[in-house]
Amino acid sequence: MNQPLRALVFDVDGTLADTERFHLQAFNEAFAAEGLDWRWDPALYTRLLEVSGGEERMLAYWREVRGGTVDIEGNAMRDLIERVHLAKTAAYEAMVNEGLVTLRPGVLALMDEALARGLQLAIATTTSPVNVAALLRRAVGPHWRLQFPVVCDASTAPRKKPDPQVYRQALEGLGLPAHACLAFEDSANGLRSARAAGMDTVVTPTAFTRHHDFTGALRVMPSLAGTTVDDLAGWRSEQAEPAGALS
């Protein structure tokens, strides 16, 4: 028998909002501002998204184009990546503050219902904290942290997804075992991270992730539109007691 559902833990990029095309635009703006001739298109970015974290993604790209001939551990390269990433974060934050990035269908309704029914909400993301704050301030309101007392992100979890560090931190912050919580993800790296922390995971892919392997997900849904807390509880108990298992 399943332990009752006590908390929902949400990934941010791709899951709360379809953010990656804005991240992509912000990366390209930052490359241009820095005088770099890098330009990522959606096909390349879809592949690069296999590396979680903006700085890690740029380093992986640099390694790829330079074929390991350059000392990317050197200070000059690290400084450049850090500088470009700061510019990229500012460009992305401006897009969110302009209202260009909105929550995916069903996300807000599910969060509201969960809170009304006494569940806790938490965030487990590899993105930078300012990106999370900008999105949720705009979508939920200035007091969004009251609804999300537990936020684990790039500043708390240096080991990026698929490493389970960020989900383990979220569970610790909630003070709950994995089987009392559900994770929400959009990518294979995110799913692997949550599963490795022991969590059942609902996946809502985006155009950037729909080709990923979601083996092990509790459910793969086009979106959370119409999804209720009772649906989540039902999916969990179907899994715990597969049809015919008790007969």
Q: How many residues bind ligand XBP (CB under 6 A)?
A: 18
186 noted as active-site residue: no
Closer by beta carbon to ligand XBP, 84 or else 110? 84
Q: Of 116 and 183, which CB lies nearer to ligand XBP in the complex structure?
A: 183
Write the binding mask 189 to 228 for Mg ion: x where contact by CB under 5 A, - elsewhere.
-x--------------------------------------
List Cβ neighbours of 227 (8 Å cut-off, separation of 6 or more): 106, 110, 202, 221
Closest by alpha carbon to 146, among 155, 137, 154?
Answer: 137
Extract the tokens encoding 131: 């990106």
Q: How far is the CB of 245 from ligand XBP (least distance, A)?
A: 34
Binding mask 14-33 for ligand XBP (x = CB under 6 A): x-----x--x----------
Is 213 an active-site residue?
no
Query: Which two structure tokens, joined as six digits, stand for 41?
Result: 């298109």
> Which of 13, 18, 153, 186 is labelled catalytic?
13
Between 5 and 9, name the residue whose CB sits nearer to ligand XBP: 9
Nearest alpha carbon to residue 180 among 106, 111, 118: 118
Token couple for 45: 């970015």
Say if residue 177 is preceded by a cis peptide, omega within 30 of 0.
no
Pick from 8, 13, 22, 150 the residue near ligand XBP by CB under 6 A: 13
Beta strands per DSSP E along 162-211: 181-185, 200-203
* Torsions phi, psi for 124 (to 5 deg): -135, 100
User: First and final CA of the chain: distance in angstroms?
Assistant: 16
Residues numbered 92-151 forming contacts with ligand XBP, rule: CB under 6 A: 125-128, 131
11 binds Mg ion (CB under 5 A): yes
The CA distances from residue 83 to 27, 55, 89, 123, in Å, are 12, 10, 10, 26
Q: Least distance from C-beta 209 to ligand XBP, angstroms? A: 9
Interface mask (CB under 6 A) for ligand XBP, residues 53-82, using x and -? xx----------------------------
